[in-house]
């Protein structure tokens, strides 16, 4: 099944972002450390134009640390603009951020001036959490589901920096469906926009290929079956998710796998590495 999710509120949020970005000094782009490329909204890059930006790879506490190191290296090498890996819940990871924003907008540094920052990114990536941690208070509404923030909201930090929270936005057509499945598996897409079992099968095949040991350990599997449905079946049996007649409840097994993947109960998992994205020259080779 093709996954796309661009409901009306997101289109409105996109228009509001386009209008507000003209009055913004620094864009703070929050990406998901587990899928830094697939969580990058190509629409935001267009809307931002020349406004300086900082890229944050958030939820790095859930990502595979070795893969995050590869991403940090690749991002600074390939695109000239480095990124920081953070957990938005950890003040120690982000307390330098306001100072960094100021250095990117030196013309806004005078007395009585404010460096106006906008926090942007896909749904559920941790934008509002980041703002709450910087403020030291739970003011922005946070929740573990996409589309919690529905309108822009501005907050003032001490020291002449303002932060605007914004609703998470995706883009109208998720052309890279592999990326769309990663987004769904990570929790960025509302669950009514995809088939749970489809995405769980994708996740099961991915884990069997890239993270077989954590998968086997979590579900006490002696061997990992080769096909996605068989992995879900084995998981369901181990957990005792049986329906009448001893048939495995595949929907329950799917929901469990996705929940435990998202919370890192299976382990710290990254959904993609820089090597999954060949450089443009390789595409043009023949
Ligand atoms: N483990 C972990 N969880 C995080 C981190 N940052 C945010 N979260 C969780 O991710 C979920 C989404 O956080 P929000 O701050 O509401 O995300 P958002 O980007 O504002 O989402 P929308 O408003 O829906 O676009 C919440 O359950 C947070 O607790 C992080 O660094 N690590
Ligand atoms: Mg939010």
Confidence of residue 103 (pLDDT cuts 50, 70, 90): very high
Residues 39 and 151 in one domain: yes
Q: Give the range of the structural domain holding residue 202, as residue numbers without chain letter.
A: 195-277
Q: Do 93 and 53 share a domain, yes or no?
A: yes
- Residue bearing the CA closest to ligand 1, atom 21: 124
Assess whether the C-beta atom of 98 lies below 6 angstroms from ligand 1. no
Judgement on whether residues 146 and 216 belong to the same structural domain of the protein: no
125 in contact with ligand 1, CB cutoff 6 A:
yes
Verify that 37 and 120 share a domain, yes or no.
Answer: yes
Percent of the chain predicted with pLDDT > 70: 97
Residues 20-29 pLDDT 10s: 999 999 999 9
- 39, 153: one domain: yes
pLDDT (tens digit, 9 = 90+) per residue, 157-216?
999 999 999 999 999 999 999 999 999 999 999 999 999 999 999 999 999 999 999 999
**Residue 105 and residue 39 in one domain:** yes
pLDDT value for 95: 95
List, in order, residues 6 or more apart from 205 with CB less than 8 Å away.
228, 231
Ligand 1 pocket test target in 85, 126, 262 with most atoms within 8 Å of CB: 126
* pLDDT at residue 271 in the model: 98
pTM of the model: 0.96
Does residue 13 register a pLDDT over 80? yes
- Asked if pLDDT for residue 104 goes beyond 80, the answer is yes
Residue range 147-156, pLDDT digits in tens: 999 999 999 9
Can you give the CATH number for the domain in which 89 is found? 3.40.50.300
pLDDT at 73 over 90: yes
Backbone angles phi, psi at 186, to 5 degrees: -80, -20
User: How many distinct structural domains can be found in the chain?
Assistant: 2
Q: CA-CA distance, 60 to 127, in Å (whole number)?
A: 14
Residue with tokens 């450089």: 279
- Looking at all shown ligands, the one closest to residue 123's CA atom is 1
Q: Which residue has 């023949």 as its token pair? A: 286
| Domain co-membership, 43 together with 128 | yes
166 lines ligand 1 (CB under 6 A): no
Q: What's the length of the chain?
A: 286
Report d(CA 25, CA 157) in Å as an integer.
Answer: 15
Which residue from 67, 184, 85, 166 is spatially nearest to 119, judged by alpha carbons? 166
**Does 43 share its domain with 87?**
yes
Q: What is the mean pLDDT of the chain?
A: 95
Whole-angstrom CA distances from 263 to 59, 189, 205 are 10, 16, 18
Cα torsion for 43, 73, 115, 126, to the nearest 10°? 60
- Arithmetic mean of pLDDT, 107-129: 94
């Amino acid at each position: 099944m093709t996954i796309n999710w661009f409901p009306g509120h997101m289109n409105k949020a996109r228009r509001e972002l386009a209008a507000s970005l003209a009055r913004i000094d620094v864009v703070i782009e929050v990406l998901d450390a587990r899928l830094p490329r697939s969580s990058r909204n190509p629409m935001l890059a267009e809307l931002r134009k020349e406004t300086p930006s900082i890229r944050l790879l958030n939820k790095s506490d859930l990502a595979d640390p070795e893969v995050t190191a590869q991403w940090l290296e690749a991002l600074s090498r390939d695109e000239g603009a480095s990124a920081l890996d953070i957990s938005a819940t950890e003040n120690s990871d982000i307390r330098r951020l306001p100072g960094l924003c100021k250095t990117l907008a030196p013309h806004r540094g005078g007395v009585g001036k404010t460096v106006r920052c906008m926090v942007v990114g896909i749904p559920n990536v941790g934008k509002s959490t980041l703002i709450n941690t910087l403020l030291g208070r739970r003011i922005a509404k946070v929740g573990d589901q996409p589309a919690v923030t529905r309108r822009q909201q501005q907050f003032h930090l001490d020291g002449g920096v303002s932060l605007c929270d914004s609703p998470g936005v995706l883009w109208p057509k998720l052309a890279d469906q592999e990326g769309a499945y990663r987004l769904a598996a990570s929790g960025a897409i509302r669950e009514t926009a995809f088939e749970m079992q489809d995405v769980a099968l994708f996740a099961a095949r991915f884990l069997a290929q890239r993270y077989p040991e954590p998968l086997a350990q979590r579900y006490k599997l002696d061997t990992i079956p080769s096909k996605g449905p068989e992995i879900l079946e084995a998981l369901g049996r181990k957990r005792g998710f049986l329906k009448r007649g001893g048939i495995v409840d595949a929907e329950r097994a799917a929901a469990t796998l996705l929940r435990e993947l998202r919370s890192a109960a299976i382990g710290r998992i990254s959904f993609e590495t820089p090597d999954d994205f060949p450089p443009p020259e390789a595409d043009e080779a023949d």
